[in-house]
Structure 1
Amino acid sequence: MDKPSIAIEVVYALAERQKLLRLSVPAGTTVREAALRSGMQQFFPELDLSQAPLGIFGKAVGKPEERVLEEGERVEIYRPLIADPKEVRKQRAAKAKAKEEGEESS
């Protein structure tokens, strides 16, 4: 007997364009399997779905190969970070401090 299917969405976005796909997948499908089944690579050939970080509704999934999807969930394919957010905050704080110290000595 065939497994029942569930309806999910898979999304990926770049700064200039995005794609949302609605899929019907067998119950028991994992987050990674859904991303691979989505066919998103035909729209974004540079995308490596076997390695891409994944999440569900804005929360990263640590083990997408193990996390089984539920009806109505949205799988999000994340881009690699260009810069480490912690490092960017440190640099911003250092600039602000330098500016503040420069204003005090004037």
Structure 2
Amino acid sequence: MRVSVAYVEDGAHFWRTLDLPAGTTAREAAERSGVQRCFPRADPQACQLGVFGKPVSPERPLEGGERVELYRPITADPETVPRNDREEPE
């Protein structure tokens, strides 16, 4: 089956399409993609994983055509970051 693995960090991105056996898990796909060689902080053992924008268990078996995403941890408290509220013109 063909799946993709995606990761973004500091404006740089990683996208790799892989042919993997049926039953491959989200974590296995992330590990086999080589993302951590390009981005050392993209550890498939530590990062939250998702498929098409929805968090999933690392042990979730994938289906052909799916995109595995590695999510970085939040590094700022959202309540302390200033909002970018712009007034809309009337």
1:92 deviates by 6.2
SS at match of 1:10: strand
Provide runs of 4+ in structure 1 moved above 2 Å: none
Residue in 2 that maps onto 1:77: 70
* Mapping of residues 85-96 of structure 1, within 5 Å: 85=78, 88=79
Amino acid at match of 2:23: G
Q: Which has the larger strand fraction?
A: 2
Residue in 2 that maps onto 1:42: 37
1:21 deviates by 0.3
| Residues 42, 70 of structure 2: 8 Å contact kept | no
Amino acid at match of 1:23: L
Matched, 1:68 2:49: no
SS at match of 2:47: coil
Q: Is there any run of 5+ residues in structure 2 with no aligned partner, and where?
A: 84-90
Distance in 1, matches of 2:63 and 2:77, equals 32
Distance in 2, matches of 1:17 and 1:39, equals 15
CA RMSD of aligned residues (A): 1.8
1:15 deviates by 2.9
Distance in 1, matches of 2:65 and 2:43, equals 24
**TM-score (ref. length: structure 2):** 0.82
Q: Percent of counterpart pairs with the same letter?
A: 49
> Comparing 74-83 with 39-48, which one deviates more in the overlay?
39-48
Q: Is there any run of 5+ residues in structure 1 with no aligned partner, and where?
A: 1-5, 94-106
**TM-score (ref. length: structure 1):** 0.70
